Each structure stands twice: as C-alpha cells, then as structure tokens.
Amino acid sequence: MTVTDRTDLRPDTALPSAAGTLDARAVSAWFGDRRVLEQVSLTMPAGQVTALIGPSGCGKSTFLRILNRMHELIPGAALAGEVLLDGEDVYAAGKRLTAARRDIGMVFQKPNPFPAMSIYDNVVAGLRLTGLRASRAEKDGLVEECLTKAGLWKEVADRLRQPGGALSGGQQQRLCIARSLAVRPKVLLMDEPCSALDPTSTRRIEQTIRELVDEVTIVIVTHNMQQAQRVSDRCAFFLAEQGTPGAIVEHGPTDAMFGTPADPRTEDYVNGRFG
C-alpha cells in the first residue's frame, strides 16, 4: 500500500510540561499470529491535534494503545518498530512504564472515573499512581487548574467532595481529562472520547480539545468526519483492505485531506462512500 504524506508535574510548578512530538516509525502489531498493523510511520507534531480516521477494524485504536505502551499488556500481543517522544524511545530498556504513562496520557471511549472517589480525589489520583508528591495547597491549586482546563470547574466547584460517579456522562469524561492533565503530560491520547455522549457534551469536549492543544499534543481516534474536520490540524487515514493488516493510506493537514485528498480511497471515505 502506497502512503501519501501531505506535509505542504510536576505539581510543584505552575508551568505545564511543553507539548511533545510523537514519532511512530515502521510500527507493526500482532495479536497472536494475526498481524493487525503493518509498517505504520507517522509524526504527530507538538501542539497540534492529529486525528486518526478510518473504518472499524483498521487498527486505529491498536495504534493509539501502542503509543503509550498499553498494547504490550495484552496477552499474546506483540509489536515491532519505534515510538519516539521528543526523540527518546518510549520503549527503551530501563524506561519505566509509569514514566511513559505520565508523559503520554489516555482518555478512553467510555468515561472511567473512580465512581466512589470524590471529584477532588479523582483529579489527584494520578499523582499517587505516578509517584508525584504535592502539598495540600498544591493539590488544591492543581484541582482547580485542571478542572478549569477541562471546562468543568464552574459546574463542580461547590461539590468537589461528591462522588465522581454521580456526574453526567459528559462531565465524567471531562473529569477524566482533568485527571489526565494533573500529571502534566506532553501528549494526550483520546480514543473516541465523544462517541457515547450527547451533542451538547460533545461540543463542550471539542471546545476543550481546541483550548488544550496550546500546551499538550493531542491524538484522537474518531469515526465522526465532521468532528475530525472541526478539531484536528492533521489527519491520518487508516485502512485494512481484503484481510490485509491496517496501514496508513494518506496523512497530512486536515484541510488538504478533506479538500484535495491525493488518494481516491481517502476521498471516498471522507465523503461517506464507504466505512
């Protein structure tokens, strides 16, 4: 398959980590003997939103999980290739899994706050999990900062001690975003974060994505072509044809991918002719 490249916390500081550049180089993946990705190479530039688009079953979510080392935890899974964050190998020997997850956060399709834990404790949970320490005053400031960035502070400021599981679906998803931001990631991965949400919640999360991209690189999997156009700076079109492993057909600036795609398969997909 020919690929077309359309290239034309620390809690003790008030400053977030700078957004990082992710580079996937010749990434292939297997589940047992079945190859599901073949030779995927993609640069996801710092401070931009990259959307991964394509039909179901073409490897988008698998690729996303590879970027923060979730794929390796699946029994029978294997991979080849490299993933670099600002030039450093995420899979390097001696690289701690918690460090990789701190730098590259993840928001899933279904909101997954700790339901019995308070809103406040949900936000700071990542500090304990990644070994970061903060005083009570630092935690208080971090909670307000991250909930504000996730567009949730005004809605929950007076009920921070209530369970996170009592929030609406859209609010829970924004709480998960706030939780991810609390450890100062360089990259935030989002696997169809709006697919289970109503239009109002979807619009709010899309707004949050555009507000966050100034300080964190975002990679989002979406089946919604209008959403990809609204929120992303760049797109990568994945496709698995006739039982072949998933691969990238074309990638580049979103306007070009939707307006003047170089591959007819891309044009057919973004215009709803299949998928």
Q: How confident is the model at residue 82 (pLDDT cuts 50, 70, 90)?
A: very high
Cβ atoms of residues 252 and 48 within 8 Å: no
CA 193, chain centre distance (Å): 9
Tokens 């500090």 sit at which residue? 127
- The CATH number for 18-113+185-270, chosen from 3.40.1050.10, 3.30.1330.10, 3.40.80.10, 3.40.50.300, is 3.40.50.300
Cβ atoms of residues 39 and 213 within 8 Å: no
Read off the tokens for 199.
């239009």
Q: How confident is the model at residue 5 (pLDDT cuts 50, 70, 90)?
A: low
pLDDT at 9 over 50: no
Cβ atoms of residues 246 and 239 within 8 Å: yes
Instruction: Residue 6: name the closest of 249, 268, 274 by CA.
Output: 249
Of all residues in the chain, what percent carry a pLDDT higher than 70?
A: 93
Other beta carbons less than 10 A from residue 5's beta carbon: 14
Angle at 209 between CA 207 and CA 212, to 5 degrees: 110
Q: What is the pLDDT of residue 267?
A: 96
Q: How confident is the model at residue 178 (pLDDT cuts 50, 70, 90)?
A: very high
d(CA 98, CA 65): 15
Q: Which of helix, strand or coil describes residue 93?
A: coil
What average pLDDT does the structure give for the chain? Answer: 90
- Helix pair angle (119-129, 136-149), 10° resolution: 110
Q: What is the pLDDT of residue 13?
A: 35
d(CA 209, CA 91): 27
- The pTM of the full predicted model, rounded to 2 decimals, is 0.90
Q: How confident is the model at residue 180 (pLDDT cuts 50, 70, 90)?
A: very high
Please give the residue that has the higher pLDDT: either 212 or 133. 212
d(CA 270, CA 225): 6
The torsion of the CA quartet 15, 201, 254, 90, rounded to 10 degrees, works out to 50
* C-alpha separations of 16 from 11, 51, 230, 247 in Å: 9, 23, 25, 34
Q: What is the pLDDT of residue 275?
A: 73
Q: How confident is the model at residue 8 (pLDDT cuts 50, 70, 90)?
A: very low
pLDDT at 51 over 80: yes
Mean pLDDT is lowest, of 43-57, 91-105, 239-253, for 91-105
pLDDT digits (tens, 9 = 90+) for 113-150: 998 899 999 999 988 777 777 888 999 999 999 999 99
Please count the helices (runs of H) and the strands (runs of E) in the chain.
Answer: 10, 11
Q: Which of helix, strand or coil describes residue 111?
A: coil
Instruction: Residue 220: name the closest of 77, 82, 106, 74 by CA.
Output: 106
Q: For the chain, which residues make up each domain, given as ranges?
A: 18-113+185-270
